[in-house]
Structure 1
């Protein structure tokens, strides 16, 4: 029975997905960028979290790209670069619902 619990998520909370690790962060044009590369198949997927406080409310956008890199550091640096590009192109529209 414990095998089925583990397989279908009925086990303990120890198997919960961990919060992504922030590998690098910066502030750009009033936005906070946190690069959070995700390990995948021996490489790292480019992901980042972009946040900004607007009218007293913290808005968040999760950036996930298909790009894979051989190292966490390289993925983090490209994530910061891509997030800056997205901010330049979209600004606060990034948070439009």
Structure 2
């Protein structure tokens, strides 16, 4: 939606129950996510621990710093969901994290 040298703003439409960001970080960016419509499943990860998660409903917002690892996906049955993401500095890349069979990140 918008990027300059300070913030970057994205709008993401989640139309399919199978859409999933996978676990990722935001490189050097901090930011926030606002759920504008629908409901998103948000899972936060700490290395060596199982992910913790919650359903984030329309109207709710969460923030993160540059050490945050998480994944997002639409809550099953929530219908069309829209999230607004703001990053500073603007998000240029993400780090991706794979899961082991036991659900942990090595």
Point out the structure with max Rg over C-alpha: 1
Between 1 and 2, higher relative CO (CA 8 Å, sep ≥ 6) is seen in 2
Name the TM tier (shorter chain).
Answer: under 0.3
Q: Which structure shows the higher strand fraction? A: 2
Relative to its length, the structure with more helix (as a share) is: 1
**TM-score between the two structures when normalised by the length of structure 2:** 0.25
